[in-house]
Structure 1
Amino acid sequence: MAVVITEKAAGEVKRILEDQKYEEGTKLRIGITAGGCSGFSYSLTLEKEYDEEKDSKYDYHGVEVVVDKKHALYLDGTTVDFYDGIDRRGFAFNNPNATRSCGCGSSFQA
């Protein structure tokens, strides 16, 4: 299984790419970093770099998504959605590998 982004999340990524005039071929990189209140923080970046040996690449709803194979163990099965409500706005992660998450949902423990 892989990291998946919903159609709503893909739409927001496309809007950002267009509004901020990113170059064609820019990809959404999903990863993790050490830190946050639960141990790991999620990372979303837009970049052109892609290493076929180190990264897995997917296409969801017209958005190229890249995940470092080292991070895949922690992110396998994760769904990235976009939430736009009155109480908050932003990308949300549903990670089945997380044994604990912080209150804001931006960090987790595996």
Structure 2
Amino acid sequence: MSISLTPAARQRMLDFLARDTNAKAVRFGVKRTGCSGYSYTVDLADAIAADDHWVEDAGVRLVVDARSLPFVDGTAIDFRKSGLNAQFVFSNPNMTGECGCGESFTVSDSIG
């Protein structure tokens, strides 16, 4: 599994983990939604399942469930602030398109 974090994304995740002492990791994945098909999920994980894949990056353990891995493998995660807006930004080599508003994305038929 190859997922990378920019320093800004890593710091944001460390901040979230520091606020929840029950969290074991940050869970990254996808869910079916939107007009294009999939959207990203980023949540705190209280448990790590046996079939989860994980990577550790300077104190952040990032876990991905087996179903989501083909959709997100190779993704670079950044965190950006612009005015009052703050969000994770994903650079995903598996993405083949996205909806006009940028809330959902598509992947090759061989993955999805």
Q: What TM bracket, shorter-length normalisation?
A: 0.7 to 0.9
Q: 1:48 corresponds to which letter in structure 2?
A: D
1:104 CA drift (Å): 4.3
Runs of 5+ unmatched residues, structure 2: 108-112
Match for residue 101 of structure 1? 98
- The 5-angstrom pairing of residues 11-90 of structure 1 reads 11-18=11-18, 21-23=19-21, 26-52=24-50, 54-86=51-83, 88-90=85-87
1:24 CA drift (Å): 5.4
Contact 1:26/1:48 (CA < 8 Å) preserved in 2?
A: yes
Which structure 1 residue ranges, 4+ long, deviate > 6 Å from structure 2? none
Q: 2:28 corresponds to which letter in structure 1?
A: I
TM-score by length of 2: 0.84
Identity of aligned residues (%): 34
CA-to-aligned-CA distance 1:71-104 (integer Å, 9 cap, x gap): 1111111111101123732101111111102344
Q: How many Å separate the matches in 1 of 2:93 and 2:84? A: 24
Instruction: Report how many aligned residue pairs link the two structures.
Output: 107
- Backbone CA RMSD of aligned residues: 1.8
TM-score by length of 1: 0.85
